[in-house]
Each structure stands twice: as C-alpha cells, then as structure tokens.
Structure 1
Amino acid sequence: MHQACCTRPVVAAAPLARPQGALCCTRAAQQHGRVVCKLNAPLRQQEPRWGAARAARRRLPRPPAAAAELPDLDALLEAGVPEIGGDLADVQAQQNAVFDDAGVVVHFRNDSRAMHALEHAAVVVDRSHWGRLRLAGEGRLAFLHGQSTANLTALSPGQGCDTVFVTPQGRCIDLATVYAQGSGALVLVSPGMATAVRQRLEKHLFPADKVQVSDVGPRTCMFSLLGPQADAVLRQLQAGDVAGAAYGSHTLLSFAGKPVIVAVGGGLPGTGYTLIADESVGADLWRIMTAQEGVEPMGTACWEMARVMAGRPAVGSELTDDYTALDAGLYGAVSLQKGCYVGQETLAKVHNLDAVRQQLWGLEMEAPCVVGDPVLAADGRQLGAITSYIDTPSGQHRALAYLKCRVEGRQVDLEGTAVSAGGSRGRVVLPPFLSRGFPAGEQEAAAPAAAPAPAAQDDAEAAARRAQKLAEMQARLAAYQATAQQQQQQQQGTE
C-alpha cells in the first residue's frame, strides 16, 4: 500500500453550520473570515493550476450566508459555476485515486481497508457521477406522483423517499430518490440515467402541469457517508441534527458560505447520509470529510461490492425491461393505494393475482462465478441466471440473480435453497435492501393478496370455463347445422 494513504494528516472539521445558527460562518462576517481562512490554509499549497489571481480570490473570506438566502436548493442553483477546473479530482489523486475513462474514482488502492471501514467505521464515496434532476413549479410533486411508483404527494418539505420509474407494463427503468423541498423537488437517479429520465418526464409534461425539469448534476457534487460511525462523523462536522431521523429526511446547512443538503440515507442499507453541495466547495468538503478519524475514501469498485452484498438492483443488470418493480423486490418504493400512475394497473394486477413468477435474490457462493451463469436447483432445474457478481477482498463470492419462485403453481420462499452456478455450490439469501411486502401504509391495499386463490385452482377454474364455452359453441353449431339441414330438406320437398 502507498505509505501516504496510511499517513494522511487529520484536519479539524470545518462545521456544516445551520444558516440560522450561531456556529461557524453564520456568527459574523469577521468570524466567518477566520474560519474560511483556517479551512483554506492546508489548501494553499495545492494552487499552482489556478494561477495567482484566482488563488488570491480563493483566499478572500466569503461573506456569511443569511438564513433568508438558503430556503432550499434554489440558492445553490443560482450560484455561478466557478472556474476552478477539476480540483476535486486533484485532491482525490493525492489520496491515490485511480480513475476510469469517465473520470470516476474506481478505487483508492485501499479496497481491503475501505470494506473493513464500511463494516466497522465509516467511508466516504464520491457519487457525483449519479444523476440529479430538479423539478420546479407548483405541480412538481403531483407530476412526479403520476410518473413513478411511490406516494410522493404525501411528502412535506424536508422529507424524501425512494420511488421507481417504470414502463406502462410495470417494467423497471430506474430506482430513484426524491427529496421534497420548499420550492422544488430533487430527484437522484442512477449513473447515466439523468438524460433518459429527464426525457421521459418532459415527454409527459403539459403546460397545465406548471413544472420545469433541469439537470443540476454538472453544477453539484454528491458524497455518501456510510458505516456504523457515520453518525459520529456527522456530529464532528456539526451536522448531527439530522442523525437518526427517518429515511429521506434532509436539511439545508452551510459550508464555506455555500448551501449543502444533508439527507438521511446513503444509497445502501445501514447508517448512511448523502451530502449534495455546490461544485465549488466539493474539493474542500471531500478533504474535510475524508480527514476525519477512522474515515476511508471509497471508490466505485467497493461500492459495487457493497451494492451486490446489500442487494440493491442496478440499471442494466437487475433494472431492465424484463422485470417489474415487484420482481426486483422494490415493494418498499411502490404504492397501490395512491391512484393512477404509469405502470400502476399492471403492478396492481400482478400483485392481486399473485402473479409474481420470478424474484431477485442474493447468492452466497463457494467459488467464483460470472454474470450469465445459469443458477441450478439441486435437482438440476434451471431457476434463473446470475445478473451481478463480485469477489470481496476477504474472499467472499456474492451474486444477484432472478430466480423462478413458483412450484406447481404456488409461490415458494427460496431463502436457504441450495443451488449451483458455474460449477460452484451456493445458497440463496435475502439481501437487506430487498423487500417482499408493502410499507405499513400500504397494508390495506396489499390485503387482497394475503390469501390468494391457489394457482392450481385458478388454472382448473379457467380450464372449466374454457370447456364450458367450447361445449356451448359446439351446441350452437350443432343446432345451426340441424336447422340448415331441415331447411334444405324442406326446399327439396317443395321442388
């Protein structure tokens, strides 16, 4: 391991101050200037790419952020984009980051430490390559409500939830997170999906909707703080008020004079938070967060390991046109009570008829496999195929797969089932991200499926109805033929 990665200095946390509070940069302009200068002091040696004039401007104290200026994301969006290039990437490169062709951090040459910190301490993941769309206008939540699966009109400012964009047939497009704000709604989508989701939304927009959609991803950065010590790290940053709040809850704080959204939930199960900030403070915020004791930076390679172990479905692997949101185990993001929306009729029918025939499951394997390997039951029947696979630094072999979940017409619980794939033995597990039941408020809607008619009985009844219809048609045909024959005989007798 690179020595510098193990000996990075611990920098005092720059507080994420509440706009109306008495901490950090909101106390007074003079005090704010001292804090900013102290924060920027370690950064001054990293300024050769900016030029002297730009570096001098950067060292000037920023004015304090007044509470009235930070009602929600509007303040962030109205800020000008600074000409500082990729200084976040510069900071990450100093931490031994390895980037892919798109400039996304794959790893920091610390996969073992990062996975250990994710389980026992805390990690920070740069998710700035994920999409961020903002919807403005008085009809924003009602519009989103009709375009995705969750009950979004129930959200108040400061609340949020997951939702699924599906096709009219209920098939998966993307799993998203929506944050309801004072005058807008922020939608987080998967990497590479911002344009597709935006086009999908704009296709269904009418002037009467009074909604505008914009892509704010290029102007913002997004970091996830994950792990059992995430609460403690958040408190070190003086942003701990949101700790322990309900999933999707979020607040607006201030960092170096810029607004920062701090939301509960980091994209994976367990303790986690998402921070969304103006791009201009991304490098400073990343440096401060990763400098906290016990925190490791984590790249997309470890994120993918954690995703597969947690069971979060991904676009192109588990979220495709082949599977519904219920197949994908996303019951927690689906409402059947809220009324009409794109795909609602199909999802309700699938649920009420107990027609889910394949489900997303996790696999714990004894040896490596590859995506596409058939998953076989003990008797050799093919249950499905692997959609995602990872090896961990500790030698674990984990996979996700859609598996057939019906035997003789009845749905069965596959958890614990012995399977094989790619010549390796394994067993089926239910990862923590997936759900098989609706949220508490949806239990009433889910009641009709609590005691469904057995599929075999349904098939028998359908066969009986078909046989009855066939008999009736045959009887009518026989009567018609008899009448026609009688008329023909009468005509011949007359002649």
Structure 2
Amino acid sequence: MTVDGSKPQALLWDEHFAVVRLEGSGCAGFLNGQTSAKVEGAPSGPIIQACWLNATGRLQALLELRLDDQGADVLVLNGDADQLAQGLDRVIFPADRVRLGAPRQQRRLQHLSSDQAPGVETVLWLDDDAIVPAPWNQTQACTAADLERWRLQQGWPLGAEEITGDTNPFELGLAGWVNLDKGCYLGQETLAKLGSRGAVKQQLRCWQCADPGAADLQPGDALVLNGERAGRITSVADPNGTEPRLGLALIRRQALEATTLQSEPTDSRPHPLTVTVKRPGAFQDPPSGR
C-alpha cells in the first residue's frame, strides 16, 4: 500500500532479452529433458517458466519457453545465452529431431505490481513492429530504479550474485519453476532429494538498512548473527533520496528466523550496521516445506 492507503499503480517493464532458437519436431521432448519445466505435451503459444540446471541441480539460467509449430524459443531472463546455446548444442543428437536456429532478441513486457507474485499471466512477448495492445498500453513504463526496487522487494533473483552457478532454485524461492513430478531431467535427482527433505542450506531474503553508512554496503559483504556468519549480500539498490538502502541476501538456514542481522566489520567500516531482513513477497517454498 502507498502512504495514503491507496493501492499502488502497476508499472510496465519493457525490455529485450536474448532468445536461443530451437527448431524441429522434437523440441518439446528435448526441453522436457533439459529444463525443470514440464514441456512435453504443452500447447503452442503459452509461456512456460523454467530453470536450466547443471547435473548437481545448481541453477545456470532462468528461462521462459514458448513452443510453436516449427520449434521453440528459449528466452534467457538471467544467465548467459551463449553458454546456454553451447550447452544445449552439446547434448543434441540426431534422434532428438532438434537443431539450433539463429539467435535473436525478443521484446518482453511485464506488469509490475507489488501485490502479485511474478507469473506468466503478467508477461507478454511482442514483435518489435507490433502495436502494444490494451491494457498494456495503458500502464506507465517503469524506470530502471522502479524495476530494481520492485525486483528486490519481490525477491526476483535477477542479479549477477544470485545466479552464480552455486545456488539452486529452492534457495532462490523458485519452487514454482521446478516440476518434481515429471520424468528425469538434468539436475532432477538432486532437486528431488532437496524437495523430499524439505530443507536447504540457505534462502534468499530481502534486507533494509536506514543507517547512512548503508551506502557502503556491497554485494559479497557478509552478514552476521551473534558474531557468527549468517549470510552474504547479493544485491544492493542504488540510493534513492532518503529511503532506506535495500537489497537481497542469501541467509543461512540457522539464521532464517532472525529479523535483524549485522554487517560484518571491515577496515573501512569498523562499526557493524543493523539490517532488517524479511521473506521476499514472491518467494515460493518447495512442496514439502522450506
């Protein structure tokens, strides 16, 4: 809610993203085995949220998929599109009936609303020469600062320090992007074990700090609880007037119930800063719990 109690206006995020193109009749089955989403049997047209994992379940890229009559587009929301293309190309065999097409850029629109978790119903892919349809053309475009604050408050792991090849989807609150019921896929065994145990070693959290010294906080800075390492900062928003500094952090499991943590003292910042931490608005737990 805004200061006067009214519902905040949704904003429009309009940006181009790299797309890895796949062509051939076997694209659905191939992507079903290479991503975390259930793609086989999905209809053409709708957008599918998916993760690209390595063999140990670590997140390599955050994706949106769209099937069509000739193949599939794989849009890279966060990650290296060239690395994805090379990784997929290495595991394409003639029997897959799939081949790499020409890479391209895709215009992508998304409504940003503080009371709605990110989902495919808020996303539209659009050709560059297409007219923006209603109600999308009636929504105010967001600034870069608007987008950064929204994604930090919601907990979207779009920063360079959230997807590093060392985190898994459950740590980042992306359980909705993972299908544990479909057949085998790359990284599935590790995620199935994590889901059955209902616990991961760390989780993504939002943090805020109103101390003027918070302007010095940077991704990679450590956070502590009672003198023990509790996590590390992964994203920091640029200062915006007098508003508190905010960002995202990966917090260790033993510190997840804490509402405040301290920055670890450094030579340039000998006095610890107190930061408040909370669960992001869009964080999704695995089916069996945390």
Match of 2:73 in 1: 186
Match of 1:371 in 2: 219
1:420 aligns with 2:262: yes
CA distance in 2, matches of 1:353, 1:122: 37
Equivalent position SS for 1:303: helix
Equivalent position SS for 1:132: strand
Match of 1:120 in 2: 8
CA distance in 2, matches of 1:227, 1:313: 15
Higher strand share: 2
Contact 2:231 2:249 in 1 (8 A): yes
Alignment equivalent of 2:180, drawn from 336, 345, 348 = 336
Deviation at 1:180, TM superposition (A): 2.9
1:401 aligns with 2:249: yes
CA distance in 1, matches of 2:110, 2:200: 35
CA distance in 2, matches of 1:349, 1:191: 25
Give unmatched runs, 5+ long, in structure 1. 1-118, 229-245, 249-263, 266-272, 407-411, 439-445, 451-495
Contact 1:366 1:424 in 2 (8 A): no
223 and 165 in structure 1: CA distance in 2 versus 1, 3 angstrom threshold: closer
TM-score by length of 2: 0.80
380 and 434 in structure 1: CA distance in 2 versus 1, 3 angstrom threshold: same
1:211 aligns with 2:211: no
Alignment equivalent of 1:351, drawn from 183, 186, 195 = 195
Contact 2:195 2:286 in 1 (8 A): no
Match of 2:158 in 1: 314
CA distance in 1, matches of 2:67, 2:83: 21
207 and 346 in structure 1: CA distance in 2 versus 1, 3 angstrom threshold: same
Match of 1:257 in 2: none
158 and 397 in structure 1: CA distance in 2 versus 1, 3 angstrom threshold: same
Equivalent position SS for 1:199: helix
1:141 aligns with 2:28: yes
After TM superposition, the structure 1 = structure 2 runs for residues 214-253 of structure 1, keeping only pairs within 5 Å, are: 214-218=101-105, 221-227=106-112, 247-248=119-120
Tell me the alpha carbon deviations over residues 438-492 of structure 1, each in whole angstroms, 9 at most, x when there is no partner. Answer: 3xxxxxxx4xx89xxxxxxxxxxxxxxxxxxxxxxxxxxxxxxxxxxxxxxxxxx
Tell me the alpha carbon deviations over residues 158-195 of structure 1, each in whole angstroms, 9 at most, x when there is no partner. Answer: 33321111110111101111123344322211366221
Contact 2:28 2:41 in 1 (8 A): no
Alignment equivalent of 2:285, drawn from 429, 436, 460 = 436
After TM superposition, the structure 1 = structure 2 runs for residues 96-175 of structure 1, keeping only pairs within 5 Å, are: 120-128=8-16, 130-175=17-62
Tell me the alpha carbon deviations over residues 245-279 of structure 1, each in whole angstroms, 9 at most, x when there is no partner. Answer: x953xxxxxxxxxxxxxxx32xxxxxxx32320x4
Contact 1:160 1:247 in 2 (8 A): no
Contact 2:61 2:78 in 1 (8 A): no
Equivalent position SS for 1:124: strand
276 and 415 in structure 1: CA distance in 2 versus 1, 3 angstrom threshold: farther
Deviation at 1:435, TM superposition (A): 0.9
303 and 215 in structure 1: CA distance in 2 versus 1, 3 angstrom threshold: farther
Contact 1:416 1:428 in 2 (8 A): yes
Contact 1:149 1:163 in 2 (8 A): yes
Higher helix share: 1
1:326 aligns with 2:176: no
CA-atom RMSD, angstroms?
A: 3.0
Greater gyration radius: 1
After TM superposition, the structure 1 = structure 2 runs for residues 80-99 of structure 1, keeping only pairs within 5 Å, are: none
CA distance in 2, matches of 1:436, 1:346: 16
1:382 aligns with 2:229: yes
Q: Once the two structures are aligned, what percentage of the paired residues are identical?
A: 27
Deviation at 1:291, TM superposition (A): 11
Equivalent position SS for 1:143: helix
Equivalent position SS for 2:101: strand
Contact 1:327 1:356 in 2 (8 A): yes
Match of 1:276 in 2: 126
Equivalent position SS for 2:88: helix
CA distance in 2, matches of 1:346, 1:359: 17
